[in-house]
Structure 1
Amino acid sequence: MPVVLTLQNGYKRYGDQILLDGASCALADDQKVGLIGRNGAGKSTLCRILLGDEELDAGEVVGSKKLRLGYLRQHDPFLPEETVMGFLMRDSAKPDWQCGQVAWQFAISDAMLGQQVRELSGGWQTRVKLASLLLHDPNLLILDEPTNFLDLRTQMLLEHFLQNFKAGILVVSHDRSFLKRTCTHTLEISRGELTMFPGDVDAYLQNLEERREHDERANAATLTKRKQLERFIAENRANANTASQARSKAKQLERLQMVEVAGKEQSVRFSFPKVEPRQGPALRTEDLAIGYPDRMVAGDVQVEVEHGARLGIVGDNGQGKTTFLRTICESIPPKRGRLKWGYGVHIGVYAQHVYTSLPENDSVEDYLYRQAAPGTKDQQIKDVAGSFLFSGQLAEKKIKVLSGGERARLVLAGLLLEQHNVLILDEPGNHLDVETVEALADALHRYPGTVLFTSHDRYFMHTVATEVIEVRDGRVISYPGTYDEYVYRTQKEIDDGLRAEAARHPDTQSGGGADDKKARARADRDSQKRLKAVERKIAKLDDERKALTASQATLTGAKEAQEAHAKLAELNAEIGSLESEWLELWEEVEG
């Protein structure tokens, strides 16, 4: 278990906020670590520090000589009109057969390898970047929220990849089920400290709660013992017969120590506005077609949503889930047909990227006052702000200094101050921490209004959705089953697809086809021949060096001695160069 990257006594702060306070951790090349922590605790900052993209205030990051660091890039690394195969070969400098055998692990078909990358959906582009990442052969991956905006199918492929990855990973994710499936260790960042635990996230949180309860019981027992000793000392120290016992008890009292128990961190409290339950259809569509002026996304959409339903919308990226939501909340017009909302419907919308368009120079409090429904009392606004962890001075913070998670919380807080009986939520869990996602899911589960939403978080979908609509292949239809059944079907499709691709690539484990294997065998033989030739040359020059060194003892003239010294320096330099060449050839042969 070689350690390849270490943070030693790291300190980092932004203004009054301390992110790292003498924190340390070590990452090995065979550990799969899930990094957890509250929004704003410093998870992304820690990743940037480990990647070398941000400096510590004090302390250091030390990478071993064997470290090959890889990270999933969020930006677009593709060239105009570049094909998938062209990008993989350019980015990795690997031959086409090797790029192809890695690509199929992410269900990238041979036909897709010839397509332009920019024509693919975001989920498929992520698969291409993952294939490229694997081709670089890293021994430590750092992935910051890799599941954000990924559809279920791509998430499952990413899980499969990480489960079979033979090196170390550090993953930041708000998706607890994803962490549980991919990580064997848990690293928590909290109050400036880092704590590593040899178990998955569920085991860690259970252990944390058990330790807290144990320490609280131990402190309660200590307090009881302290009171008993204090009473005995008070009653017996003035009595000559028992004074020595009282002094002994006083020493025992001094040795009693309380265990420091860290209080639980604050949690967001969701409380949706009270709405009157309604009967009948909340939404009905008739011959609806959705899309944009230049293209059709789906047609013949016949959907009826009853009041009180919690409708989860599923489908791969690029199929049209967001387009459907934008159409029904009337931010884009239908291409044809009509949709009708029921009487008395008041719609609240959480858009996928809404937090990026907030007024930067407003404070948290300014934004909430502007979003609140007319007649909302000041104390109610302050209560909502506090329940979303924006109390006191935090309510005066400017939006421009908030993290992505804090902005997402702020938008949700504003939504709760409005009066809605229908909520349309597009990926509400992105950028929220694990605890906040679970609190939102539980609140929506209790909400008596109507919810139409999409999310790639399986826990969230499982908890909230009572019905499922699937957007796929130009259609929007009610799925004949539960969300869990949809997940099962998707996993089966992926497994069947991977098995089919494996059957089409029988030489994957050992390389490409017969011609490729012959070419690599020839290359191996050539490398071995060159290695032997370098070994012979080193041995010959070493003999010359020994002979020259021995002859120096018999030299008497200054000129002869100077020439011998120069020749010896020349031999040493040549031998050093050959030894470096030998090492490179040896690593090539061994690899």
Structure 2
Amino acid sequence: MAACSEMLKREFPSIDGELLTYVEDVLQSGADEFENGDEVYEAIGAILHEVSLEKSEDDIKQICDIFLDLLKPRNANGDGGGGMRGPAKILDAPIHLKEIAASQDVATDDIQSIWVVQRDDSLKVDSKKLEKAEAKRQQKLEKREQTKTTAPAAPILQMATASQVISKKDNKMEAKGTNRSMDIRIENFDVSFGDKVLLQNADLLLATGRRYGFVGRNGLGKTTLLKMISGKQLQIPSHISILHVEQEVVGDDTLAIESVLEVDTVRTELLRKERELNVQINAGSSDPELSHELSEVYSQLQLIEADKAPARASIILNGLGFTKEMQARATRTFSGGWRMRLALARALFSKPDLLLLDEPTNMLDIKAIIWLENYLQSWPTTLLVVSHDRNFLDTVPTDILYLHSQLIETYKGNYEQFDKTRTEKHKAQRREYEAQLAHRNHVQEFIDRFRYNANRAASVQSKIKMLEKLPELKPVEKEIEVTIKFPEVEPLNPPVLQLNEVQFKYSPEKVIFTSVNLSANLDSRICIVGENGAGKTTLLKIVMGILQPTGGLVHPHRGLRLGYFSQHHVDQLDMSVNCVELLQNAYPGKPIEEYRRQLGSFGVSGDLALQVVASLSGGQKSRVALAKMCMGRPNFLVLDEPTNHLDIETIEALGKAINKYNGGVILVSHDERLIRMICRELWVCGGGTVKSVEGGFDEYRKIIERELEAAAA
């Protein structure tokens, strides 16, 4: 038995004292009755599985066989496989069963026979210990079963699908390779996401060399359509190269500038060939063909202006914020945001026939955005960009694609022209609808009045036919206006927040800023700007108390309740629950109506509030994150890039809501229009400090433009 105990402790180190005693008692009491390993497994197998989840059923059964061998060793006559268990016994005289039975005392309450062996009481199982161990085992089983049933199932996300009608003519031209047009025409196509139809009988024409801004409300399918085009789920002529800037560059030992240069596969291959040929020639090869081949390679390199490629790549990287030192660093040393910039730089350098950009300004600071706006205005090929940056859309596109009512409408000009044209178009449609409705009502009134007048029968019939021939006009669908409403808060006496001689550094070499002296009150509308890495987010975290300053003091009002919206707030939402459950988990104990009312304050209402968070668009997730932030009724908002993924209408609504809010606001944003809407004070991060700029955003933009002009010169 001692050997069994040692083996139990060795094989099952996590077994507790009570279960160990219980298993030992079972083995000891059943030692004489166990016939094979299966019977041992039936007795203790379930408990052994409980205390060792990593062991399989076969492992446990093998251990039970060993227990049986220790308890009942095979006798000497056994063959090691099926010999008799226990010591060999030889009868030296016959047994008279009749005499043995007669000598037994028979009692009705305690029947004994030769078949019942009286055991030593010390070998019996303690019933109390057995009950306690069994109860503990049952408790563990119930807990595990409960965990299995309550664990949230991973959301099953549906995939987008597309169908398209392709003309026989286009099919024949594609098969023969005779279609050399650089225009992209996708006609009569549908796009669905699960049961939701995003586009139906839609047409899309992208003329070569035009720059298209793609706009529309969040969740209508703009990003989905870009993925369909880049994934060739919608048929596009095979000779047209497409590049979709969607994923960040993989981090490895490749230098940033080399990562951009290697996109030009023709140049890369020619340079590789040049190196190989030079090695062969320098090794003493006298083959004249090698010199001819090398001359041909040099000619091709000169033709594609390969020598100018590093300078062009460096200009693009510099414009996107990469210094000379950063361009010489390995890609693995950059964060995800900088790797996305690298992906954008690679796309701009490669100049595909069709460049697809989805919210390119989200990853950029204002200086890089201004540079990108200027760079794309001379873009030579076709550009399709999804953006909600109003200023960017006023500067870059030559045309606007407007997604609504499952269709795509094309408008000439930038966003400002589109907005005017669309407004006038809607007014004209409304006037036409109202005029026809009035005309119909007038004619119908005549028909109803003289329907039973025999003298007017001909006129009535004529009017009825005229009504039938009139085209049926549908009322102009007015888009639901997005509303955002921040909670009302009680006033606080100033000063609400003060920063005195604040400094922060990650190391003696990496000083972010020093000597910051700023203050804010409940009427503050402060916008923080500056290049990436200048310390904007660090400053917000110091205000929030997430980071402690390495010098100086932060003095918050004792009644200050801060609400923080971080850049990664959306990514940190629980994607497996619906919107109502998300708020319920964060702030339990409130009525369902209160959670729905809170979501409704941020434009998440109806069935949308019951959708799984993972199935929402980026902008819808942002609104849910804002709703969650405001459940705590903060009286001071600290917002870090809140406009990422929001559509233009929602950004407009956010600006209006901030202006109506009676608490304080500190905002980091690169959206020029939003900054101009709300900004009363501009804090600029840079040069190792943070300072307030007189003249507001206009003055800051002039400073940036002067810097860009100096860099270009």
Q: Give your verdict on TM over 0.5.
A: yes
Aligned to 2:364: 150
Match of 1:360 among 562, 575, 592: 575
Q: CA 1:127 to 1:408, structure 2 compared with 1: closer, same or farther past 3 Å?
A: closer
1:287 aligns with: 501
Which deviates more, 236-245 or 34-43?
A: 236-245
| Counterpart residue type for residue 611 of structure 2 | K
Question: Which one of the candidate residues 51, 55, 68 is aligned to 2:241?
Answer: 68
User: Deviations for 1:467-521, whole angstroms, at most 9, x for unmatched residues?
Assistant: 01111122122223312221222122212321x1xxxxxxxxxxxxxxxxxxxxx
Task: Report deviation, 1:96.
Answer: 4.8
Letter of the structure 1 residue corresponding to residue 551 of structure 2: R
Which among 564, 588, 596 is matched to residue 382 of structure 1?
Answer: 596
Could you report, residue by residue, the CA deviation over 1:276-325 in whole angstroms, capped at 9, with x for unpaired residues?
34342221122222244684322222222233111101100111111111
Distance 2:505 2:186 in 1: 49
Gap change, CA 1:225 and 1:87, over 3 Å in 2: closer
Secondary structure, aligned partner of 1:91: coil
Superposition RMSD on alpha carbons, in Å? 2.5
Q: 1:480 to 1:49 in 2, by over 3 A?
A: same
**CA distance in 2: counterparts of 1:447 and 1:148, whole angstroms:** 25
1:412 matched residue in structure 2: 626
Cα deviations by residue, 1:218-251 (Å, 9 ceiling, x for unpaired): 2222222222222222333433433222222222
Return the match for 1:17 from 187, 190, 196: 196
CA distance in 2, matches of 1:362, 1:199: 42
Counterpart code for 1:334: P
Correspondence 1:86 to 2:258: yes
Out of 509, 528, 531, the residue aligned to residue 316 of structure 1 is 531
Distance 1:234 1:97, change over 3 A: closer
Q: Deviations over 1:322-375 (max 9, x none)?
A: 11111110112222322110231111111110111112222211122344598x
Deviations 1:106-130 (A, max 9, x none): 4467666545455567776666544
1:378 to partner: Cα distance: 4.6
Gaps of 5+ in 2: 1-179, 268-305
Query: For residues 121 and 368 of structure 1, what CA distance do their matches in structure 2 show?
Result: 31
Are the structure 2 counterparts of residues 372 and 199 from structure 1 closer, same or farther at C-alpha, using a change threshold of 3 Å? farther
Question: SS where residue 496 of structure 1 aligns?
Answer: helix
Q: Per the alignment, in what secondary structure is the counterpart of residue 7 of structure 1?
A: strand
Name the CA distance, whole Å, in 2 between partners of 1:109 and 1:407: 34
For the pair 1:241 / 2:455, whether they are aligned, the reply is: yes
User: 8 Å contact 1:78–1:87 — kept in the other structure?
Assistant: no
- Does the Cα contact within 8 Å between 2:250 and 2:332 map onto a contact in 1? no
Q: Which residue of 2 aligns with 1:306?
A: 521
Following superposition, the deviation at residue 217 of structure 1 comes to 1.9
The letter for the 2-side match of 1:335 is T
Corresponding residue for residue 574 of structure 1: none
- Asked if structure 2 preserves the Cα contact closer than 8 Å seen for 1:20 and 1:192, the reply is yes
Note the 1:177-196 alignment, pairs <5 A: 177-196=391-410
The residue number in structure 2 matching 1:205 is: 419
> Which residue of structure 2 lines up, in the alignment, with residue 448 of structure 1?
662
- More deviation, 130-139/196-205: 130-139
Q: CA deviation at 1:438?
A: 0.9
- Corresponding residue for residue 34 of structure 1: 213
Where in structure 1 are there 5+ consecutive unaligned residues?
A: 501-591
Q: Distance in 2 between matches of 1:109 and 1:363?
A: 44
CA 1:47–1:245 in structure 2 vs 1: closer, same or farther (change >3 Å)? Answer: same
Counterpart for residue 169 of structure 2 = none
Highest CA radius of gyration, 1 or 2?
2
Q: Residues of 2 paired with 1:238 and 1:312: CA distance? A: 73
Higher mean displacement: 115-124 or 400-409: 115-124
1:281–1:305 contact (8 Å) kept in structure 2: yes
Equivalent residue number for residue 5 of structure 1: 184
Given the superposition, is the C-alpha separation of residues 239 and 72 from structure 1 closer, same or farther in structure 2, using an over 3 Å criterion? Answer: closer
What pairs up with 1:416-565 in 2 under 5 angstroms? 416-498=630-712, 500=713
Q: Is the 8 A contact 1:362 1:399 kept in 2?
A: yes
> Which piece of structure 1 moves more, 473-482 or 131-140?
131-140
For 1:205, what is the secondary structure of its paired residue?
A: helix
After alignment, is 220-229 or 116-125 more displaced? 116-125
Take 1:120 and 1:356, find their aligned partners in 2: how far apart are those partners?
A: 20
Cα separation, 2, equivalents of 1:493 and 1:134: 22
Q: Give secondary structure in 2 for the equivalent of 1:169.
A: strand
Partner of 1:104 in structure 2? Answer: 315
How far apart are the structure 1 equivalents of 2:448 and 2:501? Answer: 87
C-alpha distance after superposition, 1:406-434 (max 9, x if no partner): 21110111223321110000000001111
For each residue in 1:424-482, what CA deviation from the matched residue of structure 2 results, as whole angstroms up to 9, or x when unmatched? 00000001111111100111122221101100111111111110111112212222331
Change (3 A) 1:344 1:159: same
Deviations along 1:198-217, one digit per CA (max 9) or x if unpaired, are 22222223322322222222
In structure 1, the partner of 2:296 is: none
Change (3 A) 1:27 1:308: same
Work out whether 1:337 is the aligned partner of 2:552. yes
- CA distance 1:7–1:491, change in 2 (3 Å): same
> 2:604, 2:620 within 8 Å by CA — same for their partners in 1?
no
Equivalent-residue separation in structure 2 for 1:134 and 1:358 (angstroms): 33
Offset, 1:268: 2.5
Q: Residue type of the partner of 1:205?
A: D
Q: Using CA pairs below 8 Å that are at least 6 residues apart, which structure has the higher relative contact order?
A: 1
Shift in Å at residue 397 of structure 1?
1.6
Answer whether contact 1:373 1:419 (CA < 8 A) is retained: no
Judged with a 3 Å threshold, the aligned counterparts in structure 2 of structure 1 residues 114 and 23 are, in CA distance, closer, same or farther, namely same
Quickly say closer, same or farther: Cα 1:236–1:386, change in 2 above 3 A.
same
For residues 255 and 427 of structure 2, what CA distance do their matches in structure 1 show?
Answer: 57
Describe the SS at the equivalent of 2:570.
helix
Measure, in 1, the Cα distance between the counterparts of 2:337 and 2:371: 11
Structure 1 residue matching 2:500: 3-state secondary structure: strand
- Contact 2:484/2:603 (<8 A) preserved: no
Per the normalisation by structure 2, the TM-score is 0.65
Q: Distance in 2 between matches of 1:164 and 1:123?
A: 25
Paired residue for 2:441, among 217, 227, 230? 227
Change (3 A) 1:167 1:410: same
What is the alpha-carbon distance in structure 1 between the residues aligned to residue 307 and residue 644 of structure 2?
36
**Equivalence for 2:354:** 140
Higher alpha-carbon deviation: 441-450 or 89-98:
89-98
Cα distance change, pair 300–211 in 1 and its aligned pair in 2 (3 A):
same
Taking the aligned partners of 1:338 and 1:96, their CA distance within structure 2 comes to 54
Question: Could you tell me the percent identity over the aligned residues?
Answer: 31
CA contact (8 A) 2:430 2:476 kept: no
CA, structure 1 residues 390+118, in 2 after alignment: closer, same or farther (shift >3 Å)?
A: same
CA distance in 2, matches of 1:135, 1:490: 24
Larger strand share, 1 or 2: 1
Tell me how many residue pairs correspond in the alignment. Answer: 491
d(CA) in 2 for partners of 1:35, 1:138: 18
| Contact 2:341-2:363 at 8 Å conserved across structures | no
Q: Does 1:166 align with 2:380?
A: yes
